[in-house]
Amino acid sequence: MMNGYYIQKSTYIRCFMKTPLEQLYNSAAESILKKDYKKAYSNCKKLSRSGLASKVIFIILEAEALMGMEKWDKATIVLSTFSGLVATKEEQVKIYNLLASAYTFLENDNEAIEHLQKSIELDGTINNAQARYELLAYYCHIDVLDKAEEIGEKLLDWRGFVLSALVYLLDVAVKNKDRNKVNKRVNLIIHYFKEIDPAHIKDICFKLINAKMFEAADDLINKDRLHNNKNLWQETALAIIQLKNGQYRKAIRLFRSSDNSKDSDLFYFYTALQNYFYDNNQIENFLSLQKDFSDHAFHIVLIRELLNLGYIEQVNDLFLKIKSPEHLQHIAPLSALISNWLLSNITNCEVIIKNNPRLISGGGLPADALQAIAFFNLIKKLINHNKKKPGLKAITAVEDIYVIGESHSLGLNNRIFKCHDNYYKGKTKFILSIQMFDLANSSSKKIKYLFNKQLASITTNANILFAIGELDCRMDKGIYKAAKKSNRSIEEVVNNTVTAYIDYLIKGLKAKSVKNVIVQGVPASNIKKSNQQDFEMHNHVIHCVNLKLEELTLLQGWTFIDLYNATADTNGQCNKKWHIDDVHLKPSIYDDITPWAVKMNNI
């Protein structure tokens, strides 16, 4: 999104008169340009005591000083005072852009978008191109593709923005599967080839390959060869295209004929190779390739799949052999940490956490390490919680219960808990990134394969708990995003997703003899919302999902764990009793889950 607010030097009309107030204004303006924001703000406060600070230009000055000090809330309050004052069009545009930037830092996307829209309505010319570009980035981020197309086309006429706009608009065309526009925009990129960073060309090429736009990707590769000579990523990309076309032998032959020396390119190929085997229900054949590929990039992809497939004992052995490159160093430790947690090797978990401090702090890591950071912090908190509240003591009447899910399944691993008259001990069957959507969607082959494998590994006449669904409810993915993108109601998307999810569970369980089935609901969210509208929408999604989950679960005669009522206050907000972080719960909530375990005969 927005990289920060921008100060235009033309904002300030330098005064050369000698009055003290004019000198004070000039000093504040110069301090802003020199990034001495504390001095600028100090001068602004002196101006406010003079009675002149009610003028729009002084409001802008004070807001920019506050934003320089990262006081975003205060800046929005100051800027909102311009309403009712006489302001030029240029001043109004400036205020809307500053408000949009402040709301961006406050993670209030709706307000940011609204103020960028107001800004462009007032000034849609090249003078306000930055605001148009920021709005394009927002629309692409939230998948409002028709508006992204509309707002971005104009930027293609403005030399300073054409390349950055092209990247976003190419994404729009790819997501819309509009091959004509993809080809047109690739040709434009080729036209400006000399001005584009080769790394961006590589990223664009792999996006096209993932979208199966092979012809356009091939054009980019050929153009890159002309400008930058033959290199590894081009050969890797061509090999991946062969894989996507089902030409396994050709892909391997092409890959082996290239100079395989760069870990990132190797990682791309091995990931595509792994996906090829998943698509063909032959992932075990991928595991057998260990004898053919012994480099670290292959091992990084392999260790992730060993975890997903449930071969957790093998993860540790492989982890000791891997030397990860900088940009991939979060993958192997994540797999090892989760595996040791599942094996109840808490000492090993603590060693892995201690040896990877950046995966706790998040400092200096790539954007795709966010998932690893979240898991490291969660497991660290689970360890500390369990030391203080180890749960129920072992009893003779305890039964195993297999807990299938993602991060929400970890807290129950190896923990004894009570549900009505039964005592259970959790045995987690972990599947990274699983959502209800994956089991409801016919195209999610990999997650379905992993789910079916984990389900098949469970003993006959077992107890099973499904802890899936919270990821579907997050505002940046899943149900909300799908509803917005397809212009459908939340209720319709929830009904379709949850119904198909439960149907998939029913189908999978028919092949097994099971004793008790428990479906876990979605807890109230503890994620900080930037405004009331975001809170209400997130809460609405969670509420709708829980209602449908409970209805369909009880119809099957299964038990539904109503975590929402356990964790929400009377206003639907988190009651602060059970959360261990923004979305996960303390394992101690399960020690006696009976009050929130709903069965058909107790409603």
Q: What is the pLDDT of residue 263?
A: 64
Q: What secondary structure letter does DSSP report for 536? A: H
For residue 422, the cross-strand partners are 419
pLDDT tier for residue 106 given thresholds of 50, 70 and 90: confident
pLDDT tier for residue 81 given thresholds of 50, 70 and 90: confident
Residue carrying structure tokens 């077992």: 462
3-state secondary structure 174-232: HHCCCHHHHHHHHHHHHHCHHHCCHHHHHHHHHHHHHCCCHHHHHHHHHHHHHHHCCCH
Q: Tell me the average pLDDT across 241-258.
A: 90
At 584, which amino acid appears? H
Token output for 430: 């972990």
Q: What is the pLDDT of residue 531?
A: 62
Q: What is the pLDDT of residue 229?
A: 65
Q: What is the pLDDT of residue 415?
A: 96
How far is the C-alpha of 501 from the C-alpha of 519, rounded, in Å?
Answer: 11
Give how far the C-alpha of residue 133 lies from the chain's centroid of Cα atoms, to the nearest Å. Answer: 22
Q: Which range has the worst mean pLDDT, 53-62, 341-350, 405-414, 582-591?
A: 53-62
Q: What is the pLDDT of residue 107?
A: 78
- Which pairs count as long-range contacts for 227-232, CB under 8 Å and 24+ apart, including other chains? 227/193, 227/194, 227/198, 228/198, 232/258, 232/259, 232/260, 232/261, 232/262, 232/265
Q: What is the pLDDT of residue 5?
A: 38
Is the pLDDT at 16 greater than 70, yes or no? Answer: no
Token output for 461: 């006449």
How far is the C-alpha of 443 from the C-alpha of 441, rounded, in Å?
Answer: 6
Residue of 53 and 437 predicted with greater confidence: 437
C-alpha distances in Å from residue 214, one per residue of 228, 274, 360: 20, 19, 39
Q: Which range has the worst mean pLDDT, 115-119, 176-180, 435-439?
A: 176-180
How far is the C-alpha of 20 from the C-alpha of 292, rounded, in Å?
Answer: 78
Is the pLDDT at 46 greater than 50, yes or no? Answer: yes
Q: What is the pLDDT of residue 555?
A: 96
The SS3 assignment for 122 reads helix
CB-CB contact of 166 with 204 (8 Å): no
Q: What is the pLDDT of residue 602?
A: 59
Residue 213 burial (CB count, 10 A): 22
Average pLDDT, the chain: 88
Q: Tell me the average pLDDT across 182-209.
A: 85
Q: What is the pLDDT of residue 262?
A: 64
Q: What is the pLDDT of residue 11?
A: 44
Q: Tell me the average pLDDT across 84-97.
A: 87
CB-CB contact of 334 with 349 (8 Å): no
Burial class (CB in 10 A: 0-12, 13-18, 19+), 3: exposed
Q: Put residue 281 in one of left, alpha, beta given phi > 0 → left and psi -120 to 50 → alpha.
A: left
- The sheet that has 597-598: what strands, in order across it? 416-419, 422-430, 399-405, 462-467, 514-520, 559-561, 597-598
C-alpha distances in Å from residue 255, one per residue of 232, 281, 426, 526, 601: 9, 22, 44, 47, 61
Domains parsed from the chain with CATH numbers:
1-123 (1.25.40.10), 304-388 (no CATH), 393-602 (3.40.50.1110)
pLDDT tier for residue 51 given thresholds of 50, 70 and 90: low
Residue carrying structure tokens 């391997």: 252
CB-CB contact of 136 with 165 (8 Å): yes
- Across 37-46, 187-196, 397-406, the highest mean pLDDT is recorded for 397-406
Percent of the chain having pLDDT more than 70? 93
Residue 214 burial (CB count, 10 A): 17
Residue of 197 and 506 predicted with greater confidence: 506
Is the pLDDT at 398 greater than 60, yes or no? Answer: yes
Is the pLDDT at 42 greater than 60, yes or no? Answer: yes
Is the pLDDT at 246 greater than 50, yes or no? Answer: yes
Q: What is the pLDDT of residue 558?
A: 97
Name 593's Cβ contacts closer than 8 Å, sequence gap at least 6: 417, 418, 419, 561
Is the pLDDT at 205 greater than 80, yes or no? Answer: yes
How far is the C-alpha of 398 from the C-alpha of 478, rounded, in Å?
Answer: 36
Burial class (CB in 10 A: 0-12, 13-18, 19+), 102: buried
Q: Tell me the average pLDDT across 548-572.
A: 95
How far is the C-alpha of 147 from the C-alpha of 134, rounded, in Å?
Answer: 13
Q: Tell me the average pLDDT across 569-596.
A: 93
pLDDT tier for residue 4 given thresholds of 50, 70 and 90: very low
pLDDT tier for residue 521 given thresholds of 50, 70 and 90: very high
0.85 cut: is pTM over it?
no
Q: What secondary structure letter does DSSP report for 290? A: G
**Strands 462-467, 416-419: parallel, antiparallel or unpaired by DSSP?**
unpaired
Is the pLDDT at 384 greater than 60, yes or no? Answer: yes
Q: What is the pLDDT of residue 10?
A: 37
How far is the C-alpha of 373 from the C-alpha of 381, rounded, in Å?
Answer: 12
Q: At what angle do helices 179-191 and 214-228 cross, to 10 degrees?
A: 10
Residue of 401 and 43 predicted with greater confidence: 401
The model's pLDDT over 456-494, given as tens digits with 9 standing for 90+, comes to 999 999 999 999 999 999 987 789 988 987 889 999 999
CB-CB contact of 178 with 149 (8 Å): no
Is the pLDDT at 271 greater than 80, yes or no? Answer: yes
Q: Which range has the worst mean pLDDT, 5-14, 262-271, 308-317, 510-519?
A: 5-14
Token output for 455: 């389900």
Is the pLDDT at 346 greater than 90, yes or no? Answer: yes
CB-CB contact of 295 with 266 (8 Å): yes
